[in-house]
């Protein structure tokens, strides 16, 4: 009996608890629903006829009409200029007014303005150039970072897909490297940009940022930081030679260039990338100094020998006697071996005996084979001389 009463009591208690929990759940749900209803009542955005939404639509309409009017007036002016229909118009005053009105646009209005201009059926290449010129002198100096993002998000709105000297993104890079010298910002923007922008514009920065050693050093650091992916490192490596050797007007001297390279603490891999194509970027009269420099620098032998071969090939074309003197006076080194091969290949056509003497100084192996192939490639393939040379040295097969 007692056991039965106990069980009944437990059942009643459990039922009471379940009922309380259900009531509590319903109360919470009711409160949540009431909160949602209050939010709906207070949120005028869902009511298109609310005073707030009516006012918002008026403001949006006025904003669109403002940018539409500026776009219309710009096209009207430049179309009349193209048609030589300017009677009674002071072009200078009209342009000044248009620039003032454009300068007053905020970022949202600039987006609307670009959409309006691009939807105009009169937009052509010439008008695009005039429009992008205004973008460069008005929008970019005022909102450079935001404009960079806007242009990468919608390049077609700015005609960037079309090669043009009015390219506004190119001007943006110049703005930060040629005028304001803010290399950190320009590489931050490039890092945000899509790969095609990185590839297209990374070289532009170097056109304006290599005038003095400190600028080159700053550029190098920003380029290193930028290269966070294999693709970006490849882009940077392709630009290192221009960073090291290119100068705005004349080729740098050996002293200036070599001292800067030493101060930059380039890694072995960076040296390989930086010296690629150096034979076209150094003064021919200083080739001997560059060859001596190669001997002393921390670069893999294969890369160093290739640079020496290319330097010596160009040097021999200009002054073969100087190359011969360098070979005679220089101690043995992998670089000297490369120079001997290049010298032999270039002098063989007019002094084959002396050329082969230098070839004979090369041990059997890749360097000797490279020199012999270079000599053979300069011969007429149909000649008896070429055939005999190929047969003698096992070439042309």
The arithmetic mean of pLDDT across residues 87-113, rounded, is 89
Say if residue 389's pLDDT is above 80: yes
How far is residue 300's CA from residue 269's CA, in Å, rounded to a whole number?
Answer: 9
Q: What is the pLDDT of residue 392?
A: 86
Q: What is the pLDDT of residue 246?
A: 83
What pLDDT sits at residue 10?
Answer: 44
- The model's pLDDT over 40-74, given as tens digits with 9 standing for 90+, comes to 455 555 566 566 666 666 677 777 899 999 999 99
pLDDT reading at 18 higher than 80: no
Q: What pLDDT score does 205 carry?
A: 86
Distance of CA 341 to the CA centre of its chain: 38
Q: CA-to-CA distance for 33 and 121, rounded, in angstroms?
A: 52
Angstrom distance (rounded) from CA 69 to CA 337: 73
Reading the block at residue 88, the tokens are 């009674």
Residue 375: which of 353, 364, 365, 363 has the closest Cα? 353
Per-residue pLDDT at 110: 95
Dist. CA 154–CA 96, nearest whole Å: 28
Residue 128 has pLDDT above 70, yes or no: yes
Q: Considering the chain, what is the average pLDDT of its residues?
A: 85
**69: Cβ contacts below 8 Å, ≥ 6 apart:** none
Secondary element (H or E) of residue 206:
helix 195-208
Q: What is the structure's pLDDT at 154?
A: 92
pLDDT tens figures, 190-209: 999 999 999 999 998 888 77
Across 109-113, 210-214, 288-292, 373-377, least confident range: 210-214
**Does 155 score more than 70 pLDDT?**
yes
Which pair of structure tokens corresponds to residue 262? 């030493």
Cβ-based neighbours of 199, under 8 Å, separated by 6 or more: 235
Judged against a pLDDT cut of 50, whether residue 327 lies above it is answered with yes
- pLDDT at residue 150 is higher than 90: yes
Which pLDDT band, with edges at 50, 70 and 90, does 38 fall under? low
Q: How far apart, in whole angstroms, are the C-alpha atoms of residue 158 and residue 152?
A: 10
Q: What is residue 17's predicted lDDT score, i.e. its pLDDT?
A: 46
Percent of the chain with pLDDT over 70: 84
The answer, yes or no, to whether residue 119 has pLDDT greater than 90, is: yes
Distance CA 269, CA 338 (A): 20
Higher-confidence position of 380 and 337:
337
Residue 137 tokens, joined: 């002198």
pLDDT value of residue 5: 45
| Residue appearing with tokens 């009944």 | 8
Where does residue 266 fall: left (phi above 0), alpha (psi -120 to 50 degrees), or beta otherwise? beta
Sign for the pseudo-dihedral over CA of 239, 240, 243, 245 = negative
pLDDT at 26: 55
Cβ 313 vs Cβ 284: under 8 Å? no
Q: Name, in order, each residue with C-beta under 8 angstroms of 98's C-beta and a sequence gap of 6 or more.
A: 70, 73, 74, 77, 134
- CB-based contacts of 240: which residues, under 8 Å, 6+ apart? 223, 270, 273, 274, 276
What is d(CA 137, CA 102) in angstroms, rounded to the nearest whole number? Answer: 11
pLDDT score of 168: 94
Name the residue with higher pLDDT: 45 or 158: 158
């Amino acid at each position: 009996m007692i056991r039965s009463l106990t069980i009944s009591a437990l059942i009643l208690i459990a039922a009471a608890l379940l009922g309380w929990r259900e009531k509590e759940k319903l109360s919470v749900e009711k409160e949540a629903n009431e909160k949602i209803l209050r939010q709906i009542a207070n949120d005028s955005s869902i009511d298109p006829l609310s005073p707030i939404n009516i006012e918002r639509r008026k403001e949006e309409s006025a904003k669109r009409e403002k940018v539409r009017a500026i776009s219309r007036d710009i096209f009207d002016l430049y179309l009349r200029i193209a048609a030589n229909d300017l009677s009674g118009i002071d072009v200078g005053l009209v342009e000044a007014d248009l620039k003032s009105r454009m300068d007053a646009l905020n970022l949202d209005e600039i987006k609307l303005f670009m959409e309006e201009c691009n939807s105009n059926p009169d937009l052509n290449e010439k008008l695009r150039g005039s429009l992008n010129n205004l973008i460069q002198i008005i929008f970019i100096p005022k909102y450079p970072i935001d404009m960079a993002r806007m242009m990468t998000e919608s390049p077609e709105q700015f005609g960037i897909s079309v090669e043009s000297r009015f390219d506004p993104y190119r001007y943006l890079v110049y703005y930060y490297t040629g005028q304001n010298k803010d290399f950190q910002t320009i590489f931050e923007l490039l890092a945000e940009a899509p790969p095609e922008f990185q590839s297209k514009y990374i070289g532009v920065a170097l056109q304006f940022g290599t005038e003095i050693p400190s600028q080159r050093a700053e550029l190098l650091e920003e380029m290193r930081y930028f290269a966070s992916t294999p693709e970006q490192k490849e882009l940077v490596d392709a630009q290192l030679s221009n960073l090291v050797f290119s100068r705005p007007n004349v080729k740098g001297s050996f002293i200036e260039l070599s001292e800067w390279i030493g101060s930059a603490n380039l890694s072995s891999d960076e040296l390989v990338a930086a010296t690629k194509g150096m034979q076209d970027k150094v003064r021919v009269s200083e080739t001997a100094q560059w060859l001596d420099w190669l001997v002393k620098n921390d670069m893999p032998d294969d890369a160093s020998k290739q640079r020496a071969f290319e330097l010596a090939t160009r040097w021999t074309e200009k002054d073969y006697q100087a190359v011969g003197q360098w070979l005679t006076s220089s101690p043995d080194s992998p670089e000297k071996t490369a120079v001997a091969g290049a010298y032999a290949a270039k002098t063989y056509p007019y002094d084959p005996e002396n050329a082969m003497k230098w070839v004979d100084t090369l041990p059997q192996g890749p360097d000797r084979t490279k020199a012999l192939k270079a000599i053979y490639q300069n011969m007429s393939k149909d000649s008896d001389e070429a055939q005999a040379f190929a047969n003698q040295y096992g070439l042309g097969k």
